[in-house]
Amino acid sequence: MMYMIHAYPTRMWYVDEFLVPSMTAQGIAREDITIWNDTDGRGNLFAFLDSLESIQDEPGGTWHIQDDVIIGRRFRELTEEHDVNGVVQGFCCRNFELAPARVGWCNQRNAWYSFPCQRIPNEMAKSFLKWFYDKAMYVNAFQPHIVSRKGDDWFWKEYLRIEHPQLNVYNLDPNIVDHIDFLLGGTLVNQRRIAKINRAEWFPDRDLVDELAEKLKNR
């Protein structure tokens, strides 16, 4: 099992003090958790690409989570159970979805915008990198996203749409993380996002978010 936390320097306090300890408390070995901290200010798109380069030749897959989530009580159990299912989406927010959310196996067209938590097979990470640098970098319509250094989730969806139109992915219910950036000062990337609170649709452990809110007040 491999886990990678995608972080920014200003959120490392939360990663070190809360997120990683919550994972190891469930029995996840610390050596199985990699923290990819964007210390060079590459932006979420290129930091994501850099992180994939570091694991593209590893066997199996990696669970990618972001630095503004809280994990559910069954996080380890469900990541282990679904570690053989190819692309697995562990988070759904209706504010990000254009169509009614679907759970279980579905075509990539109905894959969630699940960058807060998803499993990517490492061989697909390698394929995604090749597609991005050999093709996407030269598409005129993609240039605004590239220049902004944002849109890692958008490019991943485009990659699936273009390169794997028949691929089935697994939308996981219950969601295994909740998005709690509103407890950490708000989004660091999309300041113009209309909805300021974007919670998981099917996260069963809402009480953990309330507990975390109290802990952060007392920090």
Tens digits of residue pLDDT in 145-172: 999 999 999 999 999 999 999 999 999 9
- Above 90 in pLDDT, residue 193? no
Neighbours of 192 (CB within 10 A): 5
In the block, residue with structure tokens 């029995």:
27
Q: Which residues pair with 3 in a beta bridge?
A: 33, 63
**Residue 188, pLDDT score:** 52
The predicted model gives 28-46 an average pLDDT of 96
In sequence order, the 6+-apart residues with CB closer than 8 A to the CB of 92 are 101, 112, 114, 171, 173, 175, 200, 201, 202
- Above 80 in pLDDT, residue 197? yes
Q: Which residues pair with 179 in a beta bridge?
A: 69
Give the range of the structural domain holding residue 82, as residue numbers without chain letter.
Answer: 3-217
Residue 217 DSSP one-character state: H
Distance CA 144, CA 171 (A): 29
Give how many domains the chain has, as a whole number: 1
Q: What is the mean pLDDT of the chain?
A: 92
* CATH number reported for the structural domain that contains residue 37 in this entry: 3.90.550
**Residue 115, pLDDT score:** 92
pLDDT digits (tens, 9 = 90+) for 78-115: 999 999 889 999 999 988 776 556 899 999 999 998 99
Task: Give the phi and the psi of residue 35 in degrees, each rounded to 5.
Answer: -105, 120
Segment (H or E) for 133: helix 122-134
Q: Cα dihedral sign for 20, 21, 24, 30?
A: positive
pLDDT digits (tens, 9 = 90+) for 48-85: 999 999 999 999 999 999 999 999 999 999 999 999 88
Q: Which residues pair with 161 in a beta bridge?
A: none
